[in-house]
Chains A and B, each alone.
Chain A
């Protein structure tokens, strides 16, 4: 798990407890609890997982096992502007790899990392279902279609200013 220790505030712990109670602390609802918590905190660090495990009376290992199994859950905080490049097959054959390497170069981070200033994070996702616009890039909720490596700089600039 992560090496940096986070101190959760009392109100944050209470919030997590609320989410668990909302689903009656039922073990079968663990994934829904994790969805809610990640939505509120942006990510699921070890300390948050411990609180959930304790409240739902589950082993921490079990919570950790579920968090790391599903790609939607992350233990690293995302940037202010999360950049996701679709690497589904349709985007791949239309050059998503080149777009991805341009983003890596421009932002100077690897996939799964967040830039030092905390503004951008980079991830890959598999198919957003907008294959007609391949290759597709998402920044937060906004979709960019038919992206060429040459467009990358411009897209980043939009958020830098």
Chain B
């Protein structure tokens, strides 16, 4: 790398790639060659910078200039103006929404200021397809240190005292999990990385795999050493082609460097990793279901115990950790347990990555210390609600989580606080909603997901969620009755208490938390047959605006049930009792006079 004096880092995450960042890289290279700079300035395609809202992102080093929304057509200007003449390009710089001033240094931007990157430390800094860049940032040093200086017991003790908890959802202490797997005696053990990120709206695992695949491989090898396994598997969604390609490249490079395979670093320790593909089943995020899927079966969960640490893949002791958890391992081993446990809250140590999305200005991937408040995340990092609308709720934890409201905004985020308020950490999806979102339909949306994804093995989840969904559907169609609200709650509690796995045990959370926090929205759907947010179409009525209607009669002629009356060249009126809400009038009207309200 030393022969290059400048680097242009271009985001190669899925979001930016979808906005042609790969074409941008090609154009930048071409322009540099044209200027004869191909040998002195290097263009690197990195992993996700996190600021997806403003993508594609380009960062010029060493002068640390951060460009946003760069198009392939900007390549020429970047090379000619910035690289050759050293002049920063104002219109590509980020504009601070408060001061309206350009900011060149990303560390001074609201989006990055409060962030602290441990799991995402290399995303956006290194070329994920070159192992040398990972090594240059202390990569594989933790593995070397463990293999040469520490016993497995010492390493596990260190992990335990660091306080790292599983980032996949439940937050089980990581060191303890490793210890269980180590203590089970067997001729064969397995290390599994759970990369089956099925939570809609969460993409942190994908970004880590795309942006820093070696951090996962290194951690898996360390676990192999600690529990006494020589074989590992990454179970990854087939829907993530870019992450799969980068993992394959990383695996080959690691083997070539002797960091995977036989006798790693001359220590006598053998470890190699294979890939297993998921095929689109949310329930496979549950570890027993995941293991069945790895064995080529339907991904149905089984009752625990036995835990995978006792009997997992092919009946052997297996340690399953999620991607983000693994990305935290190497820094803890290098910087020490004390450093890690100094970050965060009393029971939740370190940082957490959140995928911030929905009605928010700065959609993206963020990493903050545990204990940061929702207000800081949504309003400081997230830049507040889109189009100046009013904040209504934030849904955390995906389909298993719940909705939190205004009154929770100052609650520090950690595992315990989220559960206490009826939600959960989950994998870290964070969807922000504004005044135009209907909470009843949001609950229905999540139930829709659960019904589709329930594996069908246990009755509470298979049948109960279907009934919950039907109740919500009735309410959204204006056919709900008061007793339905109690039915929702009772049924939800039963499903929670009696389901076999984590999916069913948490699936009623979106319903129960919205019942708790937005009960008046439910009652207005049920009693007044109104949807204040204007989302539930069946609760709205077609209405003709006096100031727009010219009396052309088109709507009356289009109406199949004769619900529209009015003379030619006079205002027409919809009779709500006859109207079947087919929408034919709205479609026919050329004057935008027909509205739904």
By a beta-carbon cutoff of 8 Å, the part of chain A in contact with chain B is 26-32, 34-35, 65-66, 69-73, 87-90, 92-94, 125-134, 136, 143, 145
What are the 7 closest A-B residue pairs judged by CB atoms, nearest first?
A132-B52, A88-B200, A70-B279, A129-B203, A90-B357, A143-B18, A30-B296
Residue on B nearest A84 in the bound complex, by CB? B239
Interface presence of B398 (CB below 8 A): yes
Residue on B nearest A32 in the bound complex, by CB? B277
User: In the complex, which of the residues A26, A35, A70, A136 has the most CB atoms of chain B within 10 Å of its own CB atom?
Assistant: A70
Interface presence of B53 (CB below 8 A): yes
A-B contacts, 13 of them at CB < 8 A, read A31-B276, A31-B279, A32-B276, A66-B298, A70-B281, A71-B280, A89-B357, A89-B358, A89-B431, A94-B359, A127-B203, A129-B206, A134-B357
Residue from B200, B203, B278, B295 in contact with A28 in the complex, judged by beta carbons closer than 8 Å: B295
Residue on B nearest A34 in the bound complex, by CB? B279
Neighbouring A residues of B203 by C-beta, 8 Å: 127, 129-131
Neighbouring B residues of A73 by C-beta, 8 Å: 279-280
Complexed CA–CA distance, A26 and B53 (Å): 45
Residue interface bits B344-362, CB-to-A below 8 A is 1, else 0: 0000000000010111000
A59 CB, nearest partner CB in chain B, Å:
13
Interface presence of B384 (CB below 8 A): no
Residue interface bits B255-285, CB-to-A below 8 A is 1, else 0: 0000000000000000000001111111000
> Judging by beta carbons under 8 Å apart, are A89 and B281 in contact?
no
Neighbouring B residues of A134 by C-beta, 8 Å: 357, 363
Residue on B nearest A39 in the bound complex, by CB? B238
Residue from A26, A32, A87, A93 in contact with B358 in the complex, judged by beta carbons closer than 8 Å: A93
Contacts of B281-303 to chain A: CB distance below 8 A: 281-282, 293-299
Neighbouring B residues of A136 by C-beta, 8 Å: 18
Neighbouring A residues of B433 by C-beta, 8 Å: 93
> Judging by beta carbons under 8 Å apart, are B296 and A66 in contact?
yes
> Judging by beta carbons under 8 Å apart, are B238 and A35 in contact?
yes
Residue on A nearest B243 in the bound complex, by CB? A129
- Known contacts A27-B296, A89-B431; A128/B14 CB under 8 A: yes
Q: How many residues of B contact A (CB 8 A)?
A: 50
Residue on B nearest A68 in the bound complex, by CB? B298
A66 CB, nearest partner CB in chain B, Å:
6
Neighbouring B residues of A72 by C-beta, 8 Å: 238-239, 278-280
Neighbouring A residues of B429 by C-beta, 8 Å: 89
> Judging by beta carbons under 8 Å apart, are A129 and B15 in contact?
yes
- Known contacts A89-B200, A93-B359, A93-B433; A70/B280 CB under 8 A: yes
> Judging by beta carbons under 8 Å apart, are B239 and A125 in contact?
yes
Residue interface bits B436-448, CB-to-A below 8 A is 1, else 0: 0100001001100
Residue from B198, B238, B355 in contact with A131 in the complex, judged by beta carbons closer than 8 Å: B355
Complexed CA–CA distance, A130 and B53 (Å): 10
Complexed CA–CA distance, A132 and B19 (Å): 11
Complexed CA–CA distance, A71 and B280 (Å): 5
Contacts of B200-236 to chain A: CB distance below 8 A: 200-203, 206-207
Contacts of B376-403 to chain A: CB distance below 8 A: 395, 398
Residue from A26, A126, A130 in contact with B18 in the complex, judged by beta carbons closer than 8 Å: A130
Complexed CA–CA distance, A53 and B202 (Å): 36
Residue on B nearest A134 in the bound complex, by CB? B357
> Judging by beta carbons under 8 Å apart, are B15 and A132 in contact?
yes
> Judging by beta carbons under 8 Å apart, are B358 and A130 in contact?
no
Complexed CA–CA distance, A69 and B376 (Å): 41
- Known contacts A70-B279, A70-B281; A130/B445 CB under 8 A: no
Complexed CA–CA distance, A70 and B206 (Å): 20
A67 CB, nearest partner CB in chain B, Å:
9
Neighbouring B residues of A71 by C-beta, 8 Å: 279-281
B365 CB, nearest partner CB in chain A, Å:
9
- Known contacts A28-B296, A70-B278, A94-B359; 13 additional CB pairs below 8 A are A69-B281, A71-B279, A71-B280, A72-B278, A90-B201, A93-B433, A93-B437, A126-B198, A126-B282, A128-B14, A128-B239, A131-B15, A132-B15
- Known contacts A69-B455, A72-B238, A132-B363; A127/B200 CB under 8 A: yes
